Amino acid sequence: MAGDYTVNMARKTTPSRARARAIRAKKSRAPAARAHPKRRARRNAAAGPKVWTAQQISEAFHRFAAAEPAPRGELEHVDPYTLLVAVVLSAQATDAGVNKATRPLFAVADTPARMVALGEERLREAIKTIGLYVTKAKNVIALSQQLIEQHHGGVPHDRAALEALPGVGRKTANVVLNTAFGEPTIAVDTHVFRVSNRTGLAPGRTPSEVEVALEARVPDGYKPHAHHWLILHGRYICKAQRPACDRCLISDLCLWPEKSA
């Protein structure tokens, strides 16, 4: 009985030769499975990012310069100190939001001495519409005190001295050195980082890598304004969401595979 049961079950569960051939043929006709998105991304990263040639970089900045010969940042300021404060306040905030707060603030506290006299509590109240205002108020008062004690109330024309101030990092120092003192530094914010990577201008995994690449690749004659051109391009054209490729000056040079023009 046991032998008959085994034979009968084998007959039920083992497909016929014709059925087996049909299954194999169907499998051979099936399209190959697409690679998982993460695996595709790793392969693309391993292949390396596409990068502009020196000629393409010169052409791009030639177009920026022709369209806007003297670009300006949008943070309102009247001197190196008010610029420094505005840039410190602009971290994780919009320039428009910072300007709205600093207009009345700078009317009463436009020097380190006046800012310290205003005090941290009243400064917090003046900038409470800006994100992280508690920490920023503390830093602004502290850096103002340090400017008085160590720099005679002036803003130092020196990277190390700037970065030693509370709340001041490399990006802020680059903005001040470039805008206030005319140094050919290139500050890499979220807009510059996006444009550099998306277009193929100067790809990098971190802001520091992008800054090094920009300093090496941007022609010297364009460096004084490169920071502002790239920020404005990223803010109004090469936006994170729905970039305006149809209005882009450099769409024919751009290597972004998802561009719409």
What pLDDT digit, counting tens, does each position of 5-24 carry? Answer: 334 434 444 445 556 565 56
Last residue of a domain, one of 137, 154, 181: 181
Give dist(CA 182, CA 164) in Å, integer.
20
On whether the CB atoms of residues 139 and 166 are closer than 8 A, the answer is: yes
User: What's the pLDDT at 16?
Assistant: 53
Q: Which of 129, 160, 181 is the last residue of a domain?
A: 181
Q: Is residue 38 part of a domain?
A: no
CATH number at residue 172: 1.10.340.30
**pLDDT > 90: percent of the chain:** 79
What is the model's pLDDT at position 3? Answer: 46
Instruction: Determine, yes or no, domain membership for 170.
Output: yes
- Above 70 in pLDDT, residue 48? no
Domain residues for the domain of 170 are: 80-181
**Domain termination site, one of 181, 211, 228:** 181
For residues 224-245, average pLDDT: 96
Average pLDDT over all residues of the chain: 87
Convert the pLDDT of each residue in 129-139 to its tens digit: 999 999 999 99
Q: Residues 131-174: pLDDT tens digits? A: 999 999 999 999 999 999 999 999 999 999 999 999 999 999 99
Mark whether 163 and 199 lie in a shared domain.
no
Is residue 229 domain-shared with residue 142, that is, in the same domain?
A: no
Within a domain: residue 126? Answer: yes
For residue 159, tell me if it sits in a domain. yes
C-alpha to C-alpha distance for 62 and 65, rounded to whole angstroms: 5
Residues sharing a CB contact under 8 Å with residue 76, sequence separation 6 or more, in sequence order: 86, 99, 102, 103
Query: Are 173 and 204 part of one and the same domain?
Result: no
Query: What is the phi/psi pair of residue 187, to 5°?
Result: -80, 135
Please tell me whether residues 91 and 137 are part of one structural domain.
yes
Longest CA–CA span in the chain (Å) reads: 106
Q: Is the pTM of this model over 0.85?
A: no
88 and 177 belong to one structural domain:
yes
Does residue 13 lie in a domain region?
no
Q: Report the number of distinct structural domains present in the chain.
A: 2
Residues 64-102 have pLDDT tens digits of: 999 999 999 999 999 999 999 999 999 989 999 999 999
Alpha-carbon dihedral of residues 185, 74, 172, 102, nearest 10 degrees?
A: 150
Q: In Å, how far are 167, 204, 235 from 68, measured between CA atoms?
A: 32, 26, 15
Angle subtended by helix axes 223-236 and 54-67, to nearest 10: 80
pLDDT of amino acid 261: 76
Q: Which residues are catalytic?
A: 171, 189
Do 89 and 141 lie in one domain? The reply is yes
